[in-house]
Structure 1
Amino acid sequence: MTEIPVRHADLADRAVLITGGGSGIGAALVESFAAQGARVAFLDIAEKPSLDLVERLSGSSPYPVVYLKADLRNTAETQVAVNAAAEKLGTLSVLVNNAGWDDRHEFDAVTEEYWDRAQAINLKQMFFVAQAAVPHMRRTGGGAIVNFSSIAYLLNMGEMPAYTTAKAGIIGLTKSLAGKLGVENIRVNAILPGMIVTERQKELWLTEEGIAAMIARQCLKRVLVAEDLVGPCLFLASDASAAMTAQTIVIDGGAL
Structure 2
Amino acid sequence: MNVNFSDLAGRSVFITGGGSGIGAAVTEGFLRQNARVAFVQRSDASGFCDDMEKRTGHRPLYISCDTTHTSALKAALDKAAEAHGPVEILVNNAANDQRHATGEVDENYWDEAMAVNLKAYFFACQHVIPAMRATGGGVIVNFTSISYMMGNAGYPAYTTANSGITGLTRSLAREFGPDNIRVNAIAPGWVLTQKQKDMWVTAETLAAHIDRQCLKKELQPEEMVEPVLFLASEASRAMTGQVLVADGGVVVTG
Category of TM-score, reference length = shorter chain: over 0.9
Aligned residues: CA RMSD: 1.1
How many pairs does the alignment contain? Answer: 251
Distance across 1 between alignment mates of 2:213 and 2:70: 38
Partner of 1:6: 3
Native 8 Å contact 2:52 2:58 kept in 1:
no
Secondary structure at 2:96 match in 1: coil
Partner of 1:111: 106
Structure 1 5/63 Cα, relative in aligned 2: closer, same or farther at 3 Å? closer
Distance across 2 between alignment mates of 1:108 and 1:204: 21
Secondary structure at 1:16 match in 2: strand
Secondary structure at 2:3 match in 1: coil
Q: Which moved more, 1:125-134 or 1:231-240?
A: 125-134
Amino acid of the structure 1 residue aligned with 2:214: C
Task: Among all aligned residue pairs of Structure 1 and Structure 2, give the percentage whose two residues are the same amino acid.
Answer: 50
Residues 7-31 of structure 1, C-alpha deviation per residue, up to 9 Å, x if partnerless? 0000011111000111000000000
User: Among residues 127, 130, 137, which one is paired with 1:132 in the alignment?
Assistant: 127
Partner of 1:38: 35
Residues 124-151 of structure 1, C-alpha deviation per residue, up to 9 Å, x if partnerless? 0000011111222223311110000000
Is 1:254 aligned to residue 249 of structure 2? yes
Distance across 2 between alignment mates of 1:167 and 1:143: 23
TM-score normalised according to structure 2 size = 0.96
Distance across 2 between alignment mates of 1:167 and 1:35: 29
Q: Runs ≥4 in structure 1, deviation > 3 angstroms?
A: 59-63
User: Among residues 43, 52, 56, which one is paired with 2:51 in the alignment?
Assistant: 56
Distance across 2 between alignment mates of 1:141 and 1:61: 30
Native 8 Å contact 1:235 1:241 kept in 2:
yes
Is 1:18 aligned to residue 18 of structure 2? no
Amino acid of the structure 1 residue aligned with 2:234: D
Q: Mind listing any 5+ residue stretches in structure 2 that lack a counterpart?
A: none
Native 8 Å contact 1:229 1:251 kept in 2:
yes
Q: Mind listing any 5+ residue stretches in structure 1 that lack a counterpart?
A: none
TM-score normalised according to structure 1 size = 0.96
User: Among residues 139, 152, 161, which one is paired with 2:156 in the alignment?
Assistant: 161
User: Among residues 196, 203, 210, which one is paired with 1:201 in the alignment?
Assistant: 196
